[in-house]
Structure 1
Amino acid sequence: MKTSRGHIAWLAVSGVVCVAITIFAASAYVTLDMAQARPALRGPVHYGLLVTHIFTGTVAVLAGVSQFWPGLRAKHPRVHRVLGRVYFAGVLPSSVLGVVVAQLSLYGLATSGPLTVLSVLWFASAVQGLRTARRRQFGEHRIWMIRGFALTTAAVTGRLWGLLLGALLNPADDAAGLMVFATANWLSFVVNLLVAEWWIQSRGYTRALPSSALRPSISSRSAQSSASVA
């Protein structure tokens, strides 16, 4: 599929924004000073888990941005594969730690709920992306990578939603501020997934898949397993 200049420009701008916001968010934890942590913490162990979650998530964002650059897979397949492995090495531990950190939140279900759902979906999409790549089902792999990266960038869009809602609603107390934060967390990945699904359908990625990939039968799965063994 031919890539237009507008598409390339959109990828470049969104990539720069993702990288800039991610680095800014992670900068507060580079010094490992617990006093600079943005959320309230239960103690050093909580902080250590949070920092590991943030740094591995940062790796995932930085590596993931490169995976969507046009021509990288075609012109530099080895670089694409290496960065793909780096991406999964960031997503898998960060998503697991995301569940743990969410349960340790001092702000209750309003914040732990959306962060838990996000982390579980993030892990599942990464597993699917890795599995389809190993099976060389590259059409399905591309679709799962789009979904997965939409969840990866929830850390970026969540901050943008928080700023927008805070400016519009101007919360006057802690309870209102918490509601804004919780709403931003839900919007961060729900809207991203909706946009990702629109993108997948509008680009015709599902139409390019074989029918067996859309509704695999028992025989087709057995054939795929036999082919992978061979």
Structure 2
Amino acid sequence: MPFALVALVLLPLFFGVLRLVELAGGPTLMPANPRLNASPVPVIVHIVSAVGYTVVGAFQFSAGLRRRRPGWHRAAGRVLVVLGLAVAFSALWLTLFYPRQPGTGALAYLFRLAFGSGMAAALVLGVTTIRRRDVARHRAWMIRAYALALGAATQVVTLGIGPALFGPSQLTHDLSLGAAWIINLTVAEHLIRRSAHRATVRVGS
């Protein structure tokens, strides 16, 4: 699973690194985005935090690694909570205080506020549940937070499929953005329920 998750985020991470190169004064390898260049710090925080959170976070879902290196899992988890909150809050900052991205409407704005806030809330709940030694709920909230962080990866697909099926429009673009987060949460809930079912079967047997 960890390597599959890393493979999933490679393309958006690649584009993020290209944007970092541009903001650092390197060549412009992506379409110009003046709204980001005018105030680059939140963008840099968002990209760097997302790289660390999605790549290192993928290995938190390795059951074998958790069993063999529980100390690493706990230490990495503390760092990942900080990185995840930085991803969520920088995303909210970009949504609230940057000019709206061309081609997007009010629906995309609401999606970004809702799912950015949802990621931050999931991380906080993940911390509070593990402090109560509730491992199952801790794992569930962390899966939901990670699923929301992978929104950009799934949007690579939905932003291609949506306009192809329904035609290019602002509404189609916004709905394609939201569909990515909804798909990820649906998969996350399936994994959470499947894990809970397996735990119940093991206890019953």
TM tier, shorter chain?
0.7 to 0.9
Equivalent position to 1:191, from 176, 179, 183 = 183
Answer whether contact 2:6 2:54 (CA < 8 A) is retained: no
1:77-96 aligned at under 5 Å gives the runs: 77-96=70-89
Answer whether contact 1:53 1:98 (CA < 8 A) is retained: yes
Identify which of structures 1 and 2 has the higher relative contact order when contacts are C-alpha pairs closer than 8 Å and 6+ apart.
Answer: 2
Shift of 1:111: 2.4
Shift of 1:169: 4.1
Percent identity of paired positions between Structure 1 and Structure 2: 23
Answer whether contact 2:88 2:120 (CA < 8 A) is retained: yes
TM-score relative to the length of structure 2: 0.81
Structure 2 unmatched ranges of 5 or more: 201-205
Taking the aligned partners of 1:166 and 1:27, their CA distance within structure 2 comes to 26
- How has the CA–CA distance of structure 1 residues 126 and 12 changed in structure 2, closer, same or farther, with 3 Å as cutoff? closer
Taking the aligned partners of 2:32 and 2:78, their CA distance within structure 1 comes to 30
* DSSP-derived class of the 1:59 partner: helix
Shift of 1:48: 2.2
Equivalent residue for 2:203? none
Taking the aligned partners of 1:42 and 1:72, their CA distance within structure 2 comes to 38
- How has the CA–CA distance of structure 1 residues 53 and 12 changed in structure 2, closer, same or farther, with 3 Å as cutoff? closer
Taking the aligned partners of 2:51 and 2:107, their CA distance within structure 1 comes to 24
Equivalent residue for 1:152? 149
Structure 1 unmatched ranges of 5 or more: 1-10, 209-230
Answer whether contact 1:63 1:86 (CA < 8 A) is retained: no
Letter of the 1:96 counterpart: F
Taking the aligned partners of 1:19 and 1:42, their CA distance within structure 2 comes to 22
TM-score relative to the length of structure 1: 0.73
Counting matched residue pairs gives: 192
Answer whether contact 1:114 1:186 (CA < 8 A) is retained: yes
Answer whether contact 2:49 2:84 (CA < 8 A) is retained: yes
Shift of 1:120: 0.2
* Poorly superposed stretches of 4+, deviation over 6 Å: none
